[in-house]
Amino acid sequence: MQDPFHLLYAENHHWLQSWLRRRLDCQADAADLAHDTFLRTLKSNQLGQINEPRAFLCLIAKRVLYTFWRRNELERSYLDAIASLPGNVAPSEEEFALLREALEAIDAMLDGLPIRVRHAFLLNRLEGLTHQQIAAQLNTSAASVERWIKRALTQCYIVQMGLGR
């Protein structure tokens, strides 16, 4: 008898990859994200509790897609910022690779936080906006922005120190 994960994979991998391909319009990205979805499913320790496999996989895949799109947007913003720099200031290939790794690490640290918390933190740290400017942009109070940034910084500290979530 096959274990539940292998059965789930065998019965749904092709379907999930097709589902992702329709949303991404890229076979390679769809294959990568299908792999990530099954990896997260395996790590979830909920295999015995899945009543609707495709609904469960869609939920996980949507989270994986969101992370993928968010990281692509972060990288695109960074590349736009680099493109606006004078040639002698732009980072080398090695510096770019290190900066990209750092951005991905920051993104991973912020993973799991509410979108407004992440957004406020990134606007403050990457765009250099003040709490007042962020509050105006997000239609909230500066006090809320301050709380959100503190929460994001705390999350970064917890992840950095290996204290778990």
**Residue 134: which CATH number?**
1.10.10.10
pLDDT on residue 1: 59
Q: What's the domain count of the chain? A: 2
Tens-digit pLDDT profile for residues 100-132: 787 777 777 787 788 889 889 988 987 889 999
Position 119 in a domain? yes
| pTM for the predicted model, two decimal places | 0.58
> What pLDDT sits at residue 133?
95
- State which residues form the domain around 126: 91-165
Domain match, 100 and 64 both: no
Domain-embedded: residue 127: yes
157 within a domain of the structure (yes/no): yes
Which pLDDT score, from 0 to 100, does residue 4 have? 81
Percent of the chain at pLDDT exceeding 90: 38
pLDDT over 60 at 165, yes or no = no
Within a domain: 80: no
Structure token pair of residue 85: 């720099």
Least reliable range by pLDDT among 7-16, 60-69, 134-143: 60-69
Check whether 150 has a pLDDT greater than 90: yes
Is 76 among the domain residues? no
145 and 134 Cβ atoms separated by less than 8 Å: yes
The answer on 58 and 98 residing in a single domain is no
How many CB atoms are closer than 10 A to CB 122? 22
Q: Of 35-44, 65-74, 138-147, which has the strongest mean pLDDT?
A: 138-147
pLDDT digits (tens, 9 = 90+) for 15-45: 999 999 999 988 999 999 999 999 988 888 7
- pLDDT confidence tier of residue 163, bands split at 50, 70 and 90: low
